[in-house]
Amino acid sequence: MRKEVRFAGFGGQGIVLAGHIAGKAATVYDNQEAVMTQSYGPEARGGASAAEIALDDKFIDYPLISHPDVTVILSQEAYERYIAQAKENSIIILEEDLVESPLKGENVYRIPFTRLAEEVGRRIVTNIVMLGAFTALTGVISKEAMMEAVRTTVPPKTIELNTKAFETGYEYGLRQKEGS
């Protein structure tokens, strides 16, 4: 069954890499079909950025996302640009420290991705923390597949850091899901 996912934030947060890892996890390790499109502003860092992934158990004949089932937003600019396109009653995951939103409900989660990444050791793994929480909260891609995609994508010297970041996000996501 088709699922549409949008990761959005600003350049420098690793949004496109997160989309690549999620797509790889789905196709290579989870036996799904996946198509990713990406968009970003002309700025090297700081401009709007999005990675959109269509997932399905059968061939995907239309790759574009219109109303995602899951929207993950890591910046205020991305929130203002993309939140209106989220499907009604869809899962919304927001960067708690960077996104102000009046949204409430059992499918709205606020997670301090950047703060958790800093606690793990480096802010640069914010996107991997996000993938961990996304995996725990949605179940769209299995934990094993996502973890293997992280391990086989990041530079070898950073596997331990990224694995810890993923697990931190995953555990935080599980606690959020259980609390809702």
Amino acid (1-letter code) at residue 148: E
- pLDDT tens-digit profile of 96-127? 999 999 999 899 999 999 999 999 999 999 99
Structurally, how many domains does the chain consist of?
1
> What is the largest distance, in Å, between two alpha-carbon atoms of the chain?
42
Domain that holds residue 101: 3-179
- pLDDT tens-digit profile of 3-37? 999 999 998 899 999 999 999 999 999 999 999 99
Quick one: 72 exposed, middle or buried, by C-beta within 10 A (0-12, 13-18, 19+)? buried
Query: What's CA 14's distance to the chain center, in Å?
Result: 10
Amino acid (1-letter code) at residue 42: P
What pLDDT score does 79 carry? 95
Q: Is the per-residue pLDDT at 87 higher than 90?
A: yes
Mind giving me the DSSP string for 106-150? Answer: TTEEEE-HHHHHHHHT-GGGHHHHHHHHHHHHH-SS-HHHHHHHH
What pLDDT score does 42 carry? 59
Distance CA 178, CA 38 (A): 32
* DSSP single-letter state for residue 65: -
- pLDDT tens-digit profile of 128-170? 999 999 999 999 999 999 999 999 999 999 999 999 999 999 9
Q: What is the pLDDT confidence band of residue 179, given thresholds at 50, 70 and 90?
A: confident
Q: What is the pLDDT confidence band of residue 48, given thresholds at 50, 70 and 90?
A: confident
| CATH number of domain containing 68 | 3.40.920.10
**Order of strands across the sheet that contains 108-111:** 33-40, 48-56, 3-10, 70-73, 91-95, 108-111
End-to-end CA, the chain: 25
